[in-house]
Amino acid sequence: MTQNATLMTCTADFIRQRLKDDSSGHDWWHIDRVRRNAVAIAEAENADVALCELAALLHDVADWKFHGGDETAGPRAAREWLMSQAAEENIIQRVCEIIAEVSFKGAGVPTVAGTLEGRCVQDADRLDALGAIGIARAFAFGGHFGRVMYDPEHPPEQHASFEAYKTKSGPTINHFYEKLLLLKDRMQTATGQQMAEERHQFLETFLRQFFAEWKGVV
Ligand code: ADP
Ligand code: NI
């Protein structure tokens, strides 16, 4: 995609305004981190950097988690915005395709992106679900939706369908086993895989400490 500085700046301003007050871990700064990681991964992978940046900016514009589970809400809202900015149809289509494929849909549901740019943006989004920031986001999300932190009598599940994953409402610690710890082996670019390594280790360290404190052995 040819660089269009105005479109990028206007899109960033639009998203900043729209998500600035979010307290579920899907705020503007999540978008900004994903945008920066998407650009870094795209550069290393020789992908279309501008396209990845634009799709990263729009990837959570209308997430299904906040739109009654409707997975078409995101691409539709992105299309509406890009049309209002008179973006080229070809770019709109490519951005919408990336957004439609970005989300995690359950342990048993493959989410391989169809394009290199889709793989870069998906990896960038997933990096932000790992490490210290991923832990903070998981508990922010859990608090926002009234989930209990941990319940030893409620074990994690491996969801075989998007429907089952979408409707889950278990403890936040379960989310580590149902999604976060699975991400490292599902990164789709070599760059993303490498960036995920340290963040994944940090999740393991956090969980070890969490359960040691829970049992009172430290
Ligand atoms: P995706 O669409 O792939 O799930 P997002 O950018 O929407 O990616 O971010 C999802 C993040 O929201 C997760 O990484 C996690 O921090 C949080 N999240 C989603 N579902 C849960 C849940 N049930 N419990 C705790 N955190 C959750
Ligand atoms: Ni996201």
**CB-based contacts of 54: which residues, under 8 Å, 6+ apart?**
1, 7, 8, 11, 91, 95
pLDDT for residue 125: 98
Which tens digits make up the pLDDT trace of 84-100? 999 999 999 999 999 99
What is the distance in A from the centroid of ligand 1 to the CA of 185? 17
What is the distance in A from the centroid of ligand 2 to the CA of 102? 8
Residue 151 amino acid letter: D
- Look-up: residue for tokens 């960033």? 12
What is the distance in A from the centroid of ligand 2 to the CA of 88? 24
Token reading at 161: 């369908």
pLDDT beyond 80 at 64: no
Token reading at 114: 């169809």
Average pLDDT, the chain: 95
**CB-based contacts of 16: which residues, under 8 Å, 6+ apart?**
28, 31
Instruction: Of 31, 41, 39, give the one whose Cα is nearest residue 11.
Output: 31
pLDDT beyond 80 at 138: yes
pLDDT for residue 30: 97
pLDDT for residue 65: 75
**Confidence band for 76, pLDDT divided at 50, 70 and 90:** very high
pLDDT for residue 19: 94
The continuous run of DSSP H or E covering 7 comes out as helix 5-19
pLDDT beyond 80 at 3: no
- For the Cβ of 191 lying below 6 angstroms from any atom of ligand 1, the answer is no
Token reading at 30: 């999540």
0.75 exceeded by pTM: yes
Q: Report the nearest-CA residue for atom 26 of ligand 1.
A: 138
Map residue 42 onto helix, strand or coil.
helix
Instruction: Of 134, 107, 101, give the one whose Cα is nearest residue 34.
Output: 134
pLDDT for residue 66: 78
- Number of the ligand 1 atom closest to the C-alpha atom of 64: 2
- For the Cβ of 118 lying below 6 angstroms from any atom of ligand 1, the answer is no
Q: How many whole angstroms separate alpha carbon 163 and alpha carbon 193?
A: 27
Mean pLDDT of 16-44: 95
- Number of the ligand 1 atom closest to the C-alpha atom of 137: 16
Which tens digits make up the pLDDT trace of 106-130? 999 999 999 999 999 999 999 999 9
What is the distance in A from the centroid of ligand 1 to the CA of 103? 9
Phi, psi of 186, rounded to the nearest 5 degrees: -115, 10
